[in-house]
Structures are given as structure tokens and as C-alpha cells.
Chain A
Amino acid sequence: MHDAARKRSLRKLRENAAQCVIYSAVMLVSAVFIWLLIDLLRGGLSHLSWEFITELPRDAGRAGGIASILVSTLLILLVAVLTAVPVAWMTAILLAEFVATGSWFGKAVRFSLYVLAGVPSIVFGLFGNAFFCVYLGLGFSILSGGLTLACMLLPILASTAEAGLRAVPHIYRLTASALGLSRAAALLHLILPAAAPVMAAGLLLGIGRALAETAVLLFTSGYAERMPDSLLDSGRALALHIFDLSMNVPGGDEPAYASALVLVSLLLCINILAMKFAYGLQRSKLMP
């Protein structure tokens, strides 16, 4: 009797200890995030204002705002996403739906995607500079930067989309075929909608990566801080602006912090949107 009670209390203690370890790990992770946020807020909040968002930078960014930088960032992202998405998703559909699992072609494509995913961004920067800026003659431009970023996004988008498509239960495909639906119809009406939340999450993940990218753009879209006139203009992305302000501009710390605050808020928004969007799709796909 006595022994059993001791055993029970021992077990309880062990359980509690395990819980403590797990909770402190979670706390540590959140603490890092909160500390980072507080640091950013303390350093940048006083500098942040509506004018900071809407004005052009002056005096190498020490004064004025980041309007032109936001526009450049947006344009670079647009170019990257609009070129990467069709290619990546078509690759994913091909790999998941039309290529036999063990075929050498599928293996080769998948292998090259893995390699591409592992390439450091600085190497993408060098390649982009050599290929888009010099060889294709696009120069330091938003187009060069966006296209290079697109190359970087390809493996992320393709592999998440492929995983999403593969996660759709095979029985849907069998059922659809048994009803005489063509593969295209099954793909369009059943499989893509079912995979959409994962594909959307992958897309937003990719946008997040692209938004935070610095090294690639340093080599390809340049760092002109003026408002871009066209896609062939050089444009400075937000992450690059932060880098430049904090490393090259004495007295640029405050605007650097404020810009970082904007960047982090954007990333947060994207993540929240991603979750909302994925959740909404999951619900709405049950509807007609």
C-alpha cells in the first residue's frame, strides 16, 4: 500500500518535471521572440510615423522615409512571385500527378530541386548578376532582382506544392476516375482545391523568405534609393535598406530600427494572413 503510494507520487513528480522542461523550452522560444520585438520597438517606435512610410528617404536615409524602398520591395516581390509560381506549381503538378513515382525523370527533377534549395543565397546573387544583369543585359534592376529571387523561390514553392498534392488521399483520384472524370477535371475540381491550403502556405512562406532576402538583391537589383520609374530601374529592397543604414551610414540606427519594425510587421501580417487564408480555404472548399 505504502509502496504503491510512493510509486504514484514519484510518477507524478516525473510528470511534473517533464512538464516543466517542456514549458520552459516554450517560454525560451517565446522569450527570444518577445525580446526581439521589445528591442525593435524601443529602437524604432519613436522614429516610426505616417511620414516615415510615405516620404522619400533623404540624407542617405538618415532623414525622410522609406516610400521608394517599399515600392521597390513590392515590385521585386511581384516579379519574383509572378514568374516563380506558374513554373513551380506546374512542376509540382507534373511530379505529383503525371510522372510515375520511381521514374528517372521524376528523380532527376526532384534531385535538382533539392540541390537548388540548398544553394546559399549569396551564390544565387552571383549567378543572378552574371546571368540576368550581365548576360541578358538587364543591369542592376528590379527585373534582375525579381527573376533571381524567383529562381530561389522555385524549390520552396515546388516542393511544398508537391507535398500538398501528394497529401490528397489517393482514393479521391480513384473515385474520380471510377466516375469517368478525366484527370484534368479531377485535378481542377478536387485535387487542387484540396491541396490549396498547403500550396498557399508554401507561397506565403516563400514570400516571407523573399521579403527577408538581402544577399541576392545586393548583386542584382542594386541599392539606388530613389523611386523606381520602371522594372529596369535599380531599386533598393527593405532588408537591404536596413543593412545599408546600420553598416554604412553613421547615425542611421534609428531609421534602421524603424525599417526593421516595418519589415517584421509585414512578415507578421503575412504569417497571420497565411493562417487565416489556409483555414478559410479549408472551410470553404466544403462549399459548392
Chain B
Amino acid sequence: MTIEQLTDPCDSFTLGPLEAGPACCDPQPVIEVKNLSLRYHGKLALKQVSLDIYKGCITALIGPSGCGKTSLLSAVNRLTDLIPGCSVNGRILVQGRNIYDPDENVQALRRQVGMVFQKPTPFPLSIRRNLSLPLHEHGVTRKAEVADISEQALRDVGLWDEVCDRMDSAALNLSGGQQQRLCIARALALQPQILLMDEPCSALDPIASGIVEDLIGRLRGRYTVVIVTHNLAQARRIANYAAFFWVSEHAGQLIEFGRCQKIFESPRHELTAAYVNGVRG
């Protein structure tokens, strides 16, 4: 290891060293949230959030339940369109493009911005069909190509060896951890640039959770990951950046955003300090 590498400021972003990806010390925003306010039936759930998500990095959203983390994620791939009574003000730029533009192609956006939910959500179909259905929808129809992409995605999440001999059995028969990895593979198969993960480990047992966590760590660099987690130790382990949300005046607000280490070790805001030290929340 050369001196240069040792003094590389990248190493100070997380507790562990970065494994791959472009240097996050030259942060390059892919998602720019600008003055975002989000309401459910007119009631404010997120107030004036502005935030940049940097390319190739893992950004953790932390904060107590109900502070609007899930809402923020669903605003980024416009899943909010499907939620009755939900309205969004402000702008979100994904690679410089305002996704709330009236002529934004939402299906293409959602291919570019994948999402993994809290509870594993495989479709009640076979493992193979779970992967091929979205591919077909996006125009990848050649059988060999679909099979290749599916295999690669399953290998990426470390599931291939476990399921390669039962691709045609029901996805719902897999264990919880396997189901969640299948869901991640299904999102990866669409070759997104950004992956939104809403508490992907919270419905899993500790071992499965550890496997999924390692997997997310390995996605760094290839994908831009935004992960919501209640597990602060996990956020410390895997994230480069952290954003801390809190409910004040009945609306979720962004309190502090910065490098993960900074948020955890020398937070500027006293709410953040209290939360990360387990005093509040």
C-alpha cells in the first residue's frame, strides 16, 4: 500500500475501507432533492427537504419511525403516484432531469431507479418468472439473454448456487433471506443505476440480515444505494453518507446530512447526537 492510498480521505468515510467504486471524495450528485415537501391528504409528512445523493456511494437514511424516510424513497421513483392522497411539491433531479416533469417516462425512471421493500415481496410465481417478467416488460425478450441476465443477477446476490436447480419452483417457498435477495436480484436484473432500499434487513433473522448487509456493501461503486435502516450499527458499517430525519412540528425534516463518520462521531446538531447515542428515538 502506498502512502498516497493510506492518506486517501476516502478511507475516513466509513469504519471499513471502501471496496470498489469511484472515489467518493469527489462527490458527484446523481439525485438532487430540492425543497421537497410531501403531503398525505394535505397533511405535511416531509417539509422542505434538500439533499444530494452521491454517485456510487451508499447513503443511509436514519431517524425514528414516521419521520418520512419511506415517503422520501417513494418520491424518488415516483411510487408516490400510486398512493392515494399523496402530493409532492418541490423538485427531484435524477441525473439532472426533473422527474416530476409532466413528460417524464415513469416506467423508464423506475427501471433506472430500482427499489427493494421492507418485507420481501417476491411475486407468487416461479423464481425464473420473478426475474423474467420485469425483463420482458422492458423489452428483453430473447430467451438466452433473459437467462443470462437472470443468472448474473442471482450470482451477484449470491443466490445462484442455492436456487440454480429449482428455478421453476415457487419463489414463495424460499426462506425470508433468500426471498429478499431474490428481490434485490430482480431489481439488479433491470440494470438500474440507483437502488432504493427501505429497511431491507428488518424483516430478516440476524444471519440472513448479515448476508444481505454484506451484499449491499458489495454493491457500492457499481450502484448508488440509498438505504433506510433503523440499525445504526449497520448504517455505520456500510454507509458513506448518512442523513438524519426527525419529526418536528408534526412533519418530517432533514436535520443533518454528512459523511457517515461525522454524523456518528461529531454530529453538529444535538438531536442527531442524542439519537445516534441512543438517548432519544
Residues of A within 8 A of B (CB): 100-101, 171-182, 185, 189-190, 193-194, 285-288
Report B34-77 CB contacts with A as 1/0, cut-off 8 Å.
00000000000000000000000000000000000000000001
Determine, out of B10-18, B115-123, B228-236, B244-252, the stretch whose residues face the partner at the interface: B115-123
**14 interchain pairs, CB-CB under 8 A:** A171-B121, A174-B79, A175-B117, A178-B117, A179-B110, A180-B134, A180-B137, A180-B190, A181-B134, A185-B137, A193-B124, A287-B125, A287-B168, A288-B125
* Other A-B pairs, 18, CB within 8 Å; known A174-B79, A288-B128: A171-B119, A175-B123, A175-B183, A177-B81, A177-B110, A178-B77, A178-B114, A178-B117, A179-B190, A181-B107, A182-B137, A185-B133, A189-B125, A190-B124, A193-B124, A286-B126, A287-B125, A288-B168
B124 close to A286 (CB less than 8 A): yes
Q: Name the contact of A179 in the complex, choosing from B125, B126, B134 (C-beta under 8 A).
A: B134
Q: What range describes how many residues of B lie at the interface?
A: 20 to 34
**CB-defined contacts of B121 to chain A, threshold 8 Å:** 171-172, 174-175
CB-CB under 8 A from A175, the residues of chain B are 117, 121, 123, 183
Q: A171-B119, A287-B168 are in contact. Are A177 and B124 (CB under 8 A)?
A: no
Is residue B82 contacting chain A, with contact meaning CB distance below 8 A?
Answer: yes
Within the assembled complex, what's the spacing in Å between the Cα atoms of A285 and B77? 29
A189 touches B133 (CB 8 A): yes
Q: Measuring CB to CB, which residues of chain B are less than 8 angstroms from any residue of chain A?
A: 77, 79, 81-82, 84, 107-111, 114-115, 117, 119, 121, 123-126, 128-129, 133-134, 137-138, 168, 170, 172, 183, 186-187, 190
Give the complex CA separation of A175 and B170 in angstroms: 17
Q: Which residue of chain B is the closest to A189 with respect to CB atoms?
A: B133
A178:B123 contact, CB within 8 angstroms: no
Instruction: Contact check, A178 vs B110: say whether CB atoms are below 8 A apart.
Output: yes
The answer to whether A174 and B82 touch (CB under 8 A), given A180-B190, A285-B124, is: yes
Q: Is the CB of A180 within 8 A of B170?
A: no
Most buried by B among A100, A177, A179: A179
Query: Quick check: A177 and B79 within 8 Å, CB to CB?
Result: yes
Q: Give the residues in chain B near A285, CB-CB below 8 Å.
A: 124-125
Rounded to whole Å, the gap between the CB of B238 and the closest CB of chain A is 22
A16 to B170, CA, bound (A): 43
Which residue of chain B is the closest to A287 with respect to CB atoms?
B126
Contact between A172 and B82, CB atoms less than 8 A apart: no
Whether B82 contacts A177 by the Cβ 8 Å rule is yes
Cβ–Cβ < 8 Å partners of B187 in chain A: 179
**Is the contact region of chain A dominated by helix, strand, or loop, or is it mixed?**
helix
- For the complex, give the distance between the alpha carbons of A287 and B166 in Å: 12
A173 partner, pick from B82, B129, B190, beta carbons under 8 A: B82
| Residues from chain B with Cβ under 8 Å of A193 in the complex | 124
Chain B residue with minimal CB distance to A190?
Answer: B123
Best-buried of B84, B110, B168 by chain A (most CB within 10 Å): B110
> Which among A175, A177, A182 has the greatest number of chain B C-beta atoms within 10 A?
A175
Q: Please, which residues of chain A bring their CB within 8 A of the CB of B133?
A: 181, 185, 189
Closest to A194 in B: B124
B168 CB contacts on chain A under 8 angstroms: 287-288
Contact between chains at B170 and A287 (CB < 8 Å): yes
Contact A174 B117 (CB under 8 A): yes
The complex places the Cα of A84 from the Cα of B228 at a distance, in Å, of: 48
Which A residue's beta carbon lies closest to that of B110?
A180
List B contacts of A176 (CB < 8 A).
Answer: 123
A15: shortest Cβ distance to chain B, in Å? 37
How far, in Å, is B189 (CB) from chain A's closest CB?
9
Contacts of A173 in B (CB 8 A): 82
Shortest Cβ distance from residue B188 to the other chain A in the assembled complex, whole angstroms: 11
Inter-subunit contact B108/A180 (CB<8 Å): yes
Beta-carbon nearest neighbor of B135 in chain A? A179
Contacts of A286 in B (CB 8 A): 124-126, 170, 172
